[in-house]
């Protein structure tokens, strides 16, 4: 009797597994780009029908709209515009969109909420990689790295000259951080090691605990701009921060100030930055983000000696990108199994 019961239980469990596998195999997931090696192998072994753009370029818009039809999951990149057209093309089957980024301003959240589609992203994992790069930009802009490298390559490097390529140090200087989230705090901690004496920050709310750990003061934006030697943008792009760095903002900064943006290009009114750099309202700028991306090679910013531009590589470490890929997979698998997203937005 016991043996019969065991056999029946085993058969039921096997049938359940077969049903689960069969149902997964009929479920479609679209990925707009290949992931890194380890996370890509994991993605391919999930068992669902995977439709993926295999090239090292953005998935063409018309192909995305065609391929997403009937999909239950979508893994996208920051460069993909996920709007109402995409949601409508997917149809009612779409359960989750997971973006391989910490930002999600490229996704139409209002339509997603209306259609009850879960949105996943990759928070926290980018903190160290982006903070490292932000500090590199601050150092490079402060010490004229662009001009110095060019001088070494073109033969301008001649005899020692007292004032040639002089930049700015960090000891006893003030750092201003716009957006004191995880990345902003990580940047401040790193720059404190270079001698930064005081940290000012502006954002959505005050964080009293930062006074003890960073000697950081929550101040109005105008005070931050006027008093800081280094101004770093680490904020999300929101209606409150859109083009917050305009000509008036740059006019308030010290003429010796260095401005660095590793947040989003949209927090800067770019024509105003060009004007401010040309007029020497600030000493220099370092940018990992621009508007648009990629920035046209003939753009005025590239022609300025006091502006250093990188191609949005804040999260570009193997460690960060592999983890980001895994987080996207975790989000999609959870949604297909009817579970809450482990890295999902809360509407």
> Of 55, 106, 189, 312, which one is the catalytic site residue?
312
pLDDT at 188 over 50: yes
pLDDT at 1 over 60: no
Segment 85-103 mean pLDDT: 96
Structure confidence at residue 202 as a pLDDT band (50, 70, 90): very high
Looking at CATH, the fold of the domain delimited by 28-121+319-337 is given as: Rossmann fold (3.40.50)
pLDDT at 5 over 60: no
pLDDT at 25 over 90: no
Residue 144 annotated as catalytic: no
Segment 289-301 mean pLDDT: 97
Segment 5-17 mean pLDDT: 41
Mean pLDDT (the chain) is 93
Task: Quote the pLDDT of residue 290.
Answer: 98
Q: What is the CA radius of gyration of the chain?
A: 24
Beta strands in the chain (DSSP E): 28-31, 49-52, 73-76, 96-99, 118-120, 174-178, 198-202, 216-218, 230-233, 258-261, 284-287, 307-309
Q: Which CATH architecture has domain 126-155+165-309?
A: 3-Layer(aba) Sandwich (3.40)
Beta bridge partners of 133: none
Q: What is the dihedral of CA 329, 332, 335, 341, to 10 degrees?
A: 50
Task: Quote the pLDDT of residue 9.
Answer: 39
**β-strand pairing of 174-178 with 198-202:** parallel
Task: Quote the pLDDT of residue 318.
Answer: 97
Give the Å distances, CA to CA, from 279 to 100, 255, 283, 306: 38, 10, 10, 11
3-state secondary structure of 233: strand
pLDDT at 213 over 90: yes
What DSSP line would sit under 145-163, residue for residue? HHHHHHHHHHT---S--TT
Q: Hey, where are the domains in the chain?
A: 28-121+319-337, 126-155+165-309
Tokens of 146: 């662009």
pLDDT at 49 over 50: yes
Beta bridge partners of 198: 174
Structure confidence at residue 18 as a pLDDT band (50, 70, 90): very low
pLDDT digits (tens, 9 = 90+) for 227-258: 999 999 999 999 999 999 999 999 999 999 99
Q: Matching CATH topology for 28-121+319-337 and 126-155+165-309?
A: yes
Task: Quote the pLDDT of residue 98.
Answer: 98
Burial of residue 59, with CB atoms counted within 10 A of its CB: 0-12 exposed, 13-18 middle, 19 or more buried: buried
Task: Quote the pLDDT of residue 103.
Answer: 87
Q: Residues 35-46, buried b or exposed e (16+ Cβ, 10 A)?
A: bbeebbebbeeb
pLDDT at 122 over 60: yes
Beta bridge partners of 30: 51, 74
**β-strand pairing of 118-120 with 174-178:** unpaired
Task: Quote the pLDDT of residue 19.
Answer: 40
- Tell me if the bond preceding 27 is cis, omega within 30° of 0: no
Structure confidence at residue 347 as a pLDDT band (50, 70, 90): confident
pLDDT digits (tens, 9 = 90+) for 313-341: 999 999 999 999 999 999 999 999 999 99
Task: Quote the pLDDT of residue 11.
Answer: 39
pLDDT at 20 over 80: no
Burial of residue 212, with CB atoms counted within 10 A of its CB: 0-12 exposed, 13-18 middle, 19 or more buried: exposed
């Amino acid at each position: 009797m016991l043996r019969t019961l065991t056999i029946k239980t085993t058969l039921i469990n096997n049938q359940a597994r077969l049903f689960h596998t069969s149902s997964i195999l009929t479920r479609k997931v679209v990925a707009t780009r290949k992931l890194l090696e380890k996370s890509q192998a994991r993605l391919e072994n999930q068992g669902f029908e995977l439709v993926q753009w295999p090239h090292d370029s953005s998935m063409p818009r018309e192909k995305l709209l065609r391929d997403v039809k009937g999909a239950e999951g979508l893994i996208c990149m920051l460069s993909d515009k996920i709007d109402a057209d995409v949601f409508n093309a997917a149809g009612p089957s779409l359960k989750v969109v997971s973006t391989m980024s910490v930002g999600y301003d490229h996704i139409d959240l209002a339509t997603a909420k209306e259609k009850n589609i879960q949105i996943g992203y990759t928070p926290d994992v980018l903190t160290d990689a982006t903070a490292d790069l932000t500090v590199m930009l601050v150092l490079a802009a402060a010490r004229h790295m662009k001009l110095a490298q060019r001088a070494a390559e073109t033969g301008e490097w001649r005899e020692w000259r007292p004032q040639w390529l002089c930049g700015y140090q960090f000891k006893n200087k003030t750092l201003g951080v716009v957006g004191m989230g995880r990345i902003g705090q990580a940047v401040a901690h790193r720059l404190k090691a270079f001698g930064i004496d005081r940290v000012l920050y502006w954002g959505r709310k005050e964080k009293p605990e930062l006074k003890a750990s960073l000697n950081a003061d929550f101040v109005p934006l105008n005070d931050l701009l006027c008093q800081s030697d280094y101004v770093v943008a680490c904020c999300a792009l929101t209606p409150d921060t859109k083009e917050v760095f305009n000509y008036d903002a740059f006019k308030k900064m010290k003429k010796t100030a260095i401005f660095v943006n590793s947040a989003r290009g949209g927090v800067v009114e770019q024509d105003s930055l060009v004007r401010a750099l040309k007029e020497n309202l600030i000493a220099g700028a370092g940018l990992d983000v621009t508007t648009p991306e990629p920035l046209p090679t003939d753009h005025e910013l590239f022609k300025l000696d006091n502006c250093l531009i990188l191609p949005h590589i804040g999260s570009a470490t193997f460690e960060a990108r592999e983890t980001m890929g895994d987080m996207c997979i975790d989000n999609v698998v959870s949604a297909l199994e009817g579970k809450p997203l482990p890295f999902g937005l809360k509407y």
